[in-house]
Structure 1
Amino acid sequence: MRAYWQLTLAQLRIFARNKQVLFFTLLFPIILMLALGTFAGNGNNLSLSVGLIDSDQSDASKNLAERFYKNDGLETITFKNVKSGKEALKNGDIQLFMEIPKGYEAKLEEQNEPSTLSVYYNEKNLTTSELGLTVVNGIIDQYSKDLADYKPVVTVEKVGIKALTIRYVDFLVPGIVAMMIMSNNMNGVAGQISAWRERGILRRMQGTRLKASTFIAAQITARLLLNGTQALLVVLIAHFVFSIHVAGSWLALIFFIILGTLAFMALGFIIAGIAKNPESAGPIAGFITFPMLFLGGVFFPINNMPDIIQPIVKILPIAHLSSALRETMNLGTPFLQLWTETLILGCWLIGGFIVASYVFKWE
C-alpha cells in the first residue's frame, strides 16, 4: 500500500512539473468550448428577416405594413427603393423582400380583382425562404379575412406546452468533457508509458518488488484525480460563462467521469502495449481518437448520422460517455435509467484491461 501511494504522488508530481502539457491539455478544450459556444451557442433560434418597401404610402398600405412590424416571428426592415431591397436579398442580408405597390389602396377600394403583392425570395436558400413565405402568407391571409369580415366555421385553439429548451452550447459542453477525457487518457497514457519503456524506467521497476497491479493502480488513481479535476473545472467554467446547469445528480456526473476515464485508460494501455516507441504511440492514438470525435456525438447528434454507420456509432465508448453526460447534465435523467451507457462503458473498461494485460510489455 505504501508503494501504491508513493507512486501515485510521484505521478501527480510529474503532472505538476510538466506545466506546459498540463496547461494545454486543459486550455484546448476550454478554448474550443468558448469558441463554439459563443458563435453557435444559441443556434436553436431561427431569425427571419423581411425587407419591406411601401410605395403607396396610404392608410391601407401602412395598416398592412404595421402587421409585419408587430409580428414577433419576423424582423422587418424598411428599404427606400426596390433596387436596394433586391440587393440585400442577393447578399443574404434578408430572407424575403416584399413591395406594396403604388395604387394599392385605390385598387383595394375598387374590389374588382384581388390586389397582388410581390414577394421576392432567395432561390439558393429555399428552406428558409419557404418558411418565411409561410409566415408572410399567414399574415396576408389573416389581413384579407379581416378586410372581408370573414367568420371561420372551424377555428384552432392554441394551447402552449412548456418544453425543455436545449441550446447548442448545452449539447456541446458534455461532448467537450467527453472529448477531453478520451484525449487525455488515450493519448496521455499511451505516450507516457511508451516513453518510460524506451528510457528503461519500466524495466528498472520490474527489477524491484513492485507489482504490476500496484503500478497500474497508482497510474489510474493519479489520472482519475487529474482528469476528474479538469473535467469538473470545464463544467464550472461553462456554468459561469454560458449559465450551464447540471440538471441531474452531481454524483452521477462524477461517476460517469470516473467510468469514462477508466475505460479510455484501458484503451491507452492497449496502445502503449502495441506501440514500439513513443513516436508511433501518438499516431496510433490519433488514428483511433480522430474518427471518434465525429462519430461519437461530441459535436453533432448521433441520430443525424447515416443509418449505415449507426451500428458502429452505437458501440463506441465516446458515444455512450457523451450520451450519459448529456442525459445527466441537460435532462437530469436518473442514474438507474442510464444502465445501457453504464453497461457498455463497463464492458469497454473490463475488456480493455483484459486485452491490455496481454499486450502490455515492460521492455
Structure 2
Amino acid sequence: MRPFLALLSADVRHFVRDRIALFWMLAFPILLMLLLGFVFGGDEEPVKLRLGVVLGGQGPAFQGLLEGLHHVPVISEVHTGTLEEELSALRARKRDGVLVVPADLPKALRAGNEVNFKLYYDASRSTTYQVLMSVIQEFLARSEEYLTRRERRFRLETEPVQVRHLRPIDYQVPGILAMALMQLGLFGAGGTLVARREGGVLRRFWAAPLSPGLFASSFIAHTLIVSLVQTALLLATAAAVFHVAVLGGYALLVGVVVLGALCFTALGYMIAAFARSAEASSALLQAINFPMMFLSGIFWPLEWMPGILRQVAWIFPLTYLGDALRQVMAGASPLVPLWLDAAVLGAWALIPALIATHFFRWE
C-alpha cells in the first residue's frame, strides 16, 4: 500500500506543478462553459418541424386537415399513427409534436360546436414548442375559417410529454463535462505516459521494484481524482452562474463520471502503447479528439447534423458519455437507454485496456 500511495502522491504533485495541465484540465472547461452559456444562452429556433397526427376517424374533414398540414412550409414531415405510436416517436425525438384530431370533428362542424384539438409536445425543447404552437394555432385558425365560415370554434389544448424544461446551458454543461473527461483521459493519461517514456522516467520505474499493475493503478487513481475535481469545479460554477442542477442524483453522476474517465484513460493508454514519440502521440490524440468533440452531439443535438454524420456519431464513446450525463444531470430525453450507454462505455474501457496491457512498452 505504501508504494501505491507514494506513486499516487508523486503523480498528484507533478500535476499540480504543471500549470499548463492545470489550465487545460480544470480552468479551460469552465471558461468554455461560461463562453457558451453567455453567447449561446438563448434558444435556437428549428427550421423545420416533424409532426405526428392522430386522426379520430376517416372522412373528408379529417383528410382535408391532413392534406392542409402537408402544405404548411414550416412542417417538413407529417406522420399518422395511433396515439401510442406517435407519443413513442415523440419521446424518441423523432417528432417535434403530436396533434390529436378528435373523433367528433365532422359532427361538431355540422352542429357549429367547439372542436377540441390536443397538441403533445416535448417541454425540454422550449423554442421548438413555441414555434410549433404558433404554427398549429395559425393552421387551425385558417382551416376553421375555410371549413365553417363562422366565429372561432376550434380550441387547442397542449400537454407536455416531458415536464422538465431544458435551456441550452442545461444541454451544454453535460457536454462540456464529457469533453473535459475525454481530454483528461487522452492527453492527461496518454500524452503524459509518452512524455515520461521519452524522458526516461518509465525506465526508472521499470528498474524499481514496482509491478506494472501497481504503477497503472496509481496513475488511474490519480486520473479519477482529477476527474472528480473537474466535475466538482464545473458543477459548482454552473450552479452559481447559470443555476444548473443535477436531477438524477450525485451518486449516479459520480458513477457515470468514473466510467467515462476510465473509458478515455484506457483509450489514452492504448495510444501511448503504440506511439513511438511525443509528436506521434500528439498527432494520434488530436486525430481522435477533434472528430469526437464535434461529431458526438455534446454541443448540439445529433438531429441537427446531416444523416451520414449522425451515423458516424454512434461509433464514438463520447456520444454515449454525453448522452448518459445529459440523462443523469438534466433529465433529457435519451438517445439510448442509460444501461446501454454504460455498457458501451464499459466495452470502450475494457478493450483498449487489454490492448494497452499487451503492447505497452517501458522504453
Q: Return closer, same or farther for 1:131/1:322 CA change in 2, 3 Å cut-off.
A: closer
Contact 1:263 1:345 in 2 (8 A): yes
Tell me which residue corresponds to 1:319: 319
**Structure 2 partner of 1:158:** 157
Q: Aligned-pair distance for 1:15? A: 1.0
RMSD: 3.0
Name the amino acid aligned to 1:172: Q
Give 1 or 2: higher strand fraction: 2
Alpha-carbon distance between aligned partners in 2 of 1:131 and 1:285, rounded to the nearest angstrom: 42
Q: Residues of 2 paired with 1:137 and 1:310: CA distance?
A: 33
Distance 1:203 1:307, change over 3 A: same
Q: Which amino acid aligns with 1:338?
A: L
Gaps of 5+ in 2: 47-130
Label 1:19 to 1:342 Cα distance change in 2 as closer, same or farther (>3 A). same
CA contact (8 A) 1:228 1:257 kept: yes
Tell me the percent identity: 33
Q: In the alignment, what sits opposite 2:236?
A: 236
Bigger mean CA offset, 351-360 vs 304-313: 304-313
- Cα gap change, 1:294/1:344 in structure 2, threshold over 3 Å: closer, same or farther? same
2:186–2:268 Cα contact (<8 Å) kept = yes
Q: Secondary structure at the match of 1:156?
A: strand
**What is the one-letter code of the residue matched to 1:26?**
L
> What is the correspondence of 1:1-363 to structure 2 with a 5 Å cutoff?
1-44=1-44, 150-152=150-152, 154-161=153-160, 163-331=163-331, 338-363=338-363
TM-superposed deviation, 1:312: 3.2
TM-superposition CA deviations, 1:86-106 (whole Å, max 9, x none): xxxxxxxxxxxxxxxxxxxxx
Equivalent residue pairs, number? 273
Q: For residue 33 of structure 2, give the secondary structure of its aligned residue in structure 1.
A: helix
Larger radius of gyration: 1
| CA offset digits 1:200-219 (Å, max 9, x no partner) | 11112111220000000000
Output the TM-score relative to the length of structure 1.
0.68
SS of the equivalent of 1:248 reads: coil
Structure 1 spans left out of the alignment, 5+ residues: 47-129
Structure 2 Cα separation of the partners of residues 245 and 321 of structure 1: 18
Q: How far apart, in 1, do the equivalents of 2:139 and 2:332 lie?
A: 38
Q: Structure 1 residue 346: deviation in Å? A: 0.4
Contact 1:187 1:286 in 2 (8 A): no
In the alignment, is the contact (CA less than 8 A) between 2:140 and 2:154 conserved in 1? no
Query: What is the CA deviation profile of residues 319-345 of structure 1, one whole-angstrom value per residue up to 9, with x for unaligned ones?
Result: 0100000000111799xx511011000
Paired with 1:322 and 1:169, the residues of 2 have a C-alpha distance of 14
